[in-house]
Amino acid sequence: MKRIALLLLVAVMIAALVGCAQPAEQPAQSEAPAAPAAETKAPEATQAPAATEAPASEEPESQYKYPGAVGKKATMILKDLTNPVWLEAREGGLAAAEEFGMDLEVVAPIESNNNEEQIALVQQVIAQKKDILIMCPADSTGIVPAIEEVNAANIPVINLNTKINTDSGTVHYETFVVADNTICGTLCAEELVRLAGEEGEAVILEGPSGGQVTIDLSNAAQAVFKKYPNIKLVDIQNAKFDRATAFNTTQNLLQAHPNLKIIFSCNDEMALGAVEALKEAGKLDQVVVGGIDGNQDALKAIKEGTMEVTVYKNFWLQAYTAVEAAAKFLDGQKLDEKILVELEAVTPANVDKYLKN
């Protein structure tokens, strides 16, 4: 009997938490309109498609821009909601949804980047009979069977940030809003090579093995390094996207390759860890460090000169653009196959544009 009572208690707790969870969503939405005003500073500099700029500075009027989208239900599935960049994306998506009168749910797996959970979330979209899905897959091919189901259920799909692999020809999406990882990796690596005078030893710090983002970024960097005969890629190490691990790994790498000149890191966190290790070893001047993401820590480091380059992926704008594309589609408009959210490499020269103070 006690067990029944306790389980009932748990069920009541869940119900109560649900009651609490929903109001918590509202403040996020009402904050959102303020965000576009602050964000226009950055998007302007990245020369994003002009169309997205106008709505960002307009006040939402009673007349919605895409009448066909009003009241429609959408779900945005992200890879993860613990990393600040994805929280930014969520804000961007919710801002767009509020602006266009859509009902948007933003979800992500509990374990970040878990494909199986994302499949379950996709199935949830089908069960809940949503009008449109905005998908950012953790695993480009692993999500394909789930997308096939969505296609079969006649729910349109907007692909965000990481491409759904359409090689098999069995799935389709309406458009791909991308801040492409391959482009990111290339931009960053090219700048590092340039700073190193096109010669020297390089290492790549990767995220957890097998992740799509890491694979794309790492391959892009490797391709760039191959182009230059005097650049030698001496090592690739897995620092788990984690600052502390990258700290230790870099220390070890310095012992193996004392003449290291370039560190390419697949995210800013690891780059910052590497910077700390370089500081300790007194080798900050010898090595150029590049990261990806464009988070505030990294921007600060670039301003201080301890880090050389990062790539600002503007997650807020990516999500906003994706939701807007969804709204356009629901309104009956035709979409391009690809919508590029422009990226920019951030160096000491242009870092002030992005720094929030």
Partner 1 sequence: MSKVSGFILKQSKIILLVVIVVVASIFANNPIENIFTVIMSQATFMLIYCLGMTLAILTGGLDLSVGSVAAFSSYIGATLIIEGYVVPGIIVALAIGAGIGAINGLLISKVKLSPFIATYGMDWLVRGLVLFILAGKKIFGFSPAFTSISKGAVVEFTSTMKISNPFVIALVIFLVLLFLMRKTTFGRNVYCVGLNASATRITGVNTDRIITIIYTISGLLAAIAGLLYAAVLDCAEPNMGTHYGLMAIAATLVGGTAITGGKGGVGNTIIGVLIMVFLTNALAVLGVSHLWQEAVFGLVIIFAALMEKARQKQIALLQM
Partner 2 sequence: MKQKKLNFQNREKLGLVIGIVVLFIIMSILAEGFFSWYNIHNLLRDSSILLVVATGMTLVILLGKIDMSAGSVMSLTAIVTTILLANGAHVVVALLAGLASGALIGLLNGYLVGIQKLDHFVTTFATMSLAKGLALVICDGDIINTGNNDFKAIGASTSVFLGLHVHIWIVAAIFAVMLFVLTKTKFGYRVYSIGGSEQAAMLAGISTRGTYILSFLISGLTASVGGILLASKANNGNATIGDGFEFSAIATVIIGGTPFDGGRGGLVGTLIGAILISLLKNGLRFLNITPSLQYVIIGLVILVVIITDVIINERRKLEELRRVEQ
Answer with the entry of partner 2, partner 1, none that 134 interacts with (C-beta below 5 to 8 A by kind): none
Helix (H, G, I), strand (E, B) or coil at 122: helix
Angle of helix 144-152 relative to helix 115-127, nearest 10 degrees, comes to 10
CB-nearer residue toward partner 2: 175 or 238: 238
Instruction: Please say which residue, 11 or 51, places its beta carbon nearer to partner 2.
Output: 11
Smallest distance, Å, CB 182 to partner 2?
Answer: 15
Report the residue number, 54 or 110, with the smaller CB distance to partner 1: 110
Stretch that binds partner 1, among 1-9, 148-156, 225-233, 271-279 (CB under 8 A): 271-279
Minimum CB separation of residue 33 from partner 2 in Å reads 22
Nearer Cβ to partner 1 (70/284): 284
Beta bridge partners of 204: 236, 264
Distances (CA, A) of 33 to 84, 96, 105, 277: 19, 9, 17, 41
For the CB of residue 165, give the shortest distance to partner 2 in the complex, in Å. Answer: 8
Strands ordered across the beta sheet of 73-77: 103-107, 73-77, 132-135, 157-160, 175-178, 338-340
Site string for partner 1, 167-206 (x = CB under 8 A): ----------------------------------------
Q: Which two tokens stand for residue 33?
A: 């309109």
103 binds, among partner 2, partner 1, none (CB under 5 to 8 A by kind): none
**Which contacts of 163-169 are long-range, i.e. CB under 8 A and separated by 24 or more positions?**
164/135, 164/137, 164/140, 165/140, 165/141, 168/144
C-alpha 184/C-alpha 107 separation (Å) is 25
What is the residue type of 205? L
Per-residue binding letters, 273-292, with partner 1 (x by CB under 8 A): x--x---xxx----------
Residue 280 Cβ, how far from partner 1 at the closest point, in Å? 7
H or E element, residue 134: strand 132-135
68 binds, options partner 2, partner 1, none, Cβ within 5 to 8 A by partner type: none
Please give the structure tokens belonging to residue 79: 């890879």
Using the minimum distance from each CB to partner 2, give the nearer residue, 22 or 255: 22
Which listed range, 81-89, 123-131, 145-153, 157-165, lies at the site for partner 1 (CB under 8 A)?
81-89
Which stretches within 32-170 are classed as H helix? 34-39, 41-45, 50-57, 84-100, 115-127, 144-152
Where on the chain is the footprint of partner 2 (CB under 8 A)?
1-4, 6-11, 13-15, 17-18, 21, 24, 81-82, 105, 107-111, 115-116, 119-121, 123-124, 126-129, 139, 141-145, 148-149, 206, 208-212, 215, 238
Q: How far is the CB of 140 from partner 1 (least distance, A)?
A: 21
Query: Of these, 139, 297, 324, 344, which contacts partner 1 (CB under 8 A)?
Result: 297
Asked if residue 74 lies in contact with residue 134, where contact means CB atoms within 8 angstroms, the answer is yes
Q: Work out whether strand 157-160 and strand 132-135 pair parallel, antiparallel, or are unpaired.
A: parallel
Cα(275)–Cα(261) distance, rounded to whole angstroms? 13
- What is the spatial distance between Cα 187 and Cα 190, in angstroms, rounded to a whole number? 5
**Which of 3, 356 has the CB closer to partner 2?**
3
Helix (H) or strand (E) holding 20: helix 2-31
- Residue closer to partner 2 by CB (options 235, 342) is 235
Give least dist CB 272 to partner 1, A: 7
For strand 157-160 and strand 175-178, is the pairing parallel, antiparallel, or unpaired?
parallel
Identified binder of partner 1 from the candidate list 35, 81, 335, 340, rule CB under 8 A: 81
Site string for partner 1, 239-258 (x = CB under 8 A): -x-xxx--xxx-xxxxxxxx
CB of 259 to partner 1, least distance (A): 9
Residue 89: CB atoms within 10 A of its CB come to: 30
- Residues engaged in binding partner 1 (CB under 8 A): 81-84, 86-87, 209, 234-238, 240, 242-244, 247-249, 251-258, 269, 272-273, 276, 280-282, 297, 300
